[in-house]
Amino acid sequence: MDKLIIVGGAVLNGDIRISGAKNSALPILAATLLTGEKMRISNLPHLHDITTMIELLGCMGVESSIDEKMTVEIDNSNISSYCAPYDLVKTMRASVLVLGPLLARFGAAEVSFPGGCAIGSRPVDQHLRGLEMMGAEVDISGGYIKAKTNGRLKGAHIIMDIVTVGGTENLLMAAALADGETIIENAAREPEVTDLANCLVAMGSEITGIGSDRLVIQGKEELHGCEYRIMPDRIETGTYLVAAAATRGRIKLRDTDAKLLESVLQKLEECGATIEISENTIELDMKGKKPLAVTIKTAPYPAFPTDMQAQFTALNSVAEGTSMVTETVFENRLIQTHELNRMGAKITLEGNTAMVTGVERLKGAPVMASDLRASASLVIAGLVAEGETVIDRIYHIDRGYECIEEKLQQLGGSIRRVPS
């Protein structure tokens, strides 16, 4: 298992390119199952989860080829299996996103039941409830979700009990080939849901309310192939902005979109950053100032994203003042605060809130990554800490950040990867 070694103290300064969004690439790759025609998806990020999703499609009989720019051509005309096996699902929960498309196109799907993970229990009851409302029979046995339908799925009026990104995506894809109209209320409004909806429209779907919490889908008998470019990764964007802010530096991000992360940019301005945006760039400059502590509370989009909470907790731990970080989406997502405390942070937990008192300096230490975004927070902490930080279990980080050490080196960070 590789480790990252970071020597803190450098002030980040420079320009980098932002990759395509992992969390929209995954559902869009699953959505290719909805058509037998060829699909061409570009701007995929070069990440382990993407390879896993392509491998998962491959074991169903999907043929694909990827070029060096991470454009994938997909041919779904010869699907021979409707099963997402345990071995792949256990490494990537997003595999459950093949459930809706398989069921809608082939009337059958078997997907290993995704377990919980370090950040929480992560049930899929809302995915299953919606599919049942559309006429699917769902049975759980042998650790698998076995779903089938007699003929096509039927349009339904679904009011989601809670806002779920994956649940909305699975039902949106299922509805695209259902018979009649489906209305999804209390839908997730995350930009990744919008990106998926836009891709479905490019495949011939009729969807209104895109970007709102009420999606209305007129099901089609068939969808066609298309070319689609994945949107920029708003969480990668936010992570580099926070890293630059924590080191009191300056950064310019290219190929991104400020409209995807307004709540995050507002918090960075509250922190004392000067932000300039253009159509596809974001520039942040701390002008050498120490960041000010900011209070945040995670909630579904457009509120502050749970996937940016850990990074802001790291930032707050070296900021001026005290702050409260409240996590409302995943029950166990403040877990990285213990590792930050091992680096000298002053964080106490009260239920789902972290009380963070900014310290002058963190101190490098050996730490362990527990999940994707928690790992990003440890990288940020390592960049601002005095001395050397060694981060173990960095496979988590490789699931969500393309070439993280190259990008940080380009910005002047001292970071390298070593095999354990």
Q: Name 108's Cβ contacts closer than 8 Å, sequence gap at least 6.
A: 82, 102, 147, 148, 149
| 306 is an interface residue for ligand UD1 by CB under 6 A | yes
Nearest-approach distance from CB 116 to ligand UD1, in angstroms? 9
Strands (E), 186-290: 206-208, 214-218, 227-229, 250-254, 274-277, 281-285
Draw the binding track, 223-262, toward ligand UD1 (x: CB under 6 A; -: no contact): ----------------------------------------
Nearest-approach distance from CB 376 to ligand UD1, in angstroms? 12
Q: Which stretch binds ligand UD1 (CB under 6 A): 139-147, 186-194, 313-321, 335-343?
A: 186-194
212-238 b/e (C-beta count within 10 Å ≥ 16 → b)? ebebbbebbeebebbebbbbbbbbbbb
The region that residue 376 occupies, defined by phi over 0 for left and psi between -120 and 50 for alpha, beta otherwise, is: alpha
**Sign of the CA dihedral running 398, 402, 405, 406:** positive
Active site residue 117: yes
| 307 is an interface residue for ligand UD1 by CB under 6 A | yes
* Nearest residue (CB) to ligand UD1, 125 versus 276: 125
Q: In what order do the strands lie in the sheet with 281-285?
A: 13-17, 250-254, 281-285, 274-277
Token readout for 143 is 């650790």
Q: Name 11's Cβ contacts closer than 8 Å, sequence gap at least 6.
A: 247, 248, 249, 288, 412
| 389 is an interface residue for ligand UD1 by CB under 6 A | no
* Nearest residue (CB) to ligand UD1, 105 versus 127: 127
Q: Which of 59, 83, 117, 226 is catalytic?
A: 117
* Nearest residue (CB) to ligand UD1, 49 versus 285: 49
Residue pair 316/245 in contact (Cβ under 8 Å)? The answer is no
Among 329, 343, 347, 367, binds ligand UD1 (CB under 6 A): 329
Token readout for 168 is 């909305």
Nearest-CB residue to ligand UD1?
Answer: 166
> Whole-angstrom Cα distance, residue 218 to residue 209?
12
* Nearest residue (CB) to ligand UD1, 121 versus 208: 121
Q: Which stretch binds ligand UD1 (CB under 6 A): 124-132, 135-143, 243-251, 264-272?
A: 124-132
Draw the binding track, 134-173, toward ligand UD1 (x: CB under 6 A; -: no contact): ----------------------------x-xxxx------
Among 82, 312, 330, 401, binds ligand UD1 (CB under 6 A): 330
Return the number of other C-beta atoms located less than 10 Å from residue 420's C-beta. Answer: 9
Residues 9-48 binding ligand UD1 (CB under 6 A) are 23, 26
> Whole-angstrom Cα distance, residue 333 to residue 326?
10
Token readout for 324 is 């409260």
Spatial CA neighbour of 113 closest among 75, 151, 142, 133:
142
| 312 is an interface residue for ligand UD1 by CB under 6 A | no
| 309 is an interface residue for ligand UD1 by CB under 6 A | no
Draw the binding track, 59-98, toward ligand UD1 (x: CB under 6 A; -: no contact): -----------------------------------x----
Q: Is the peptide bond before 302 cis (omega within 30 degrees of 0)?
A: yes
What residues line the site for ligand UD1 (CB under 6 A)? Answer: 23, 26, 94, 120-127, 162, 164-167, 188, 190, 192, 306-307, 329-330
**What residues are annotated to the active site?**
117
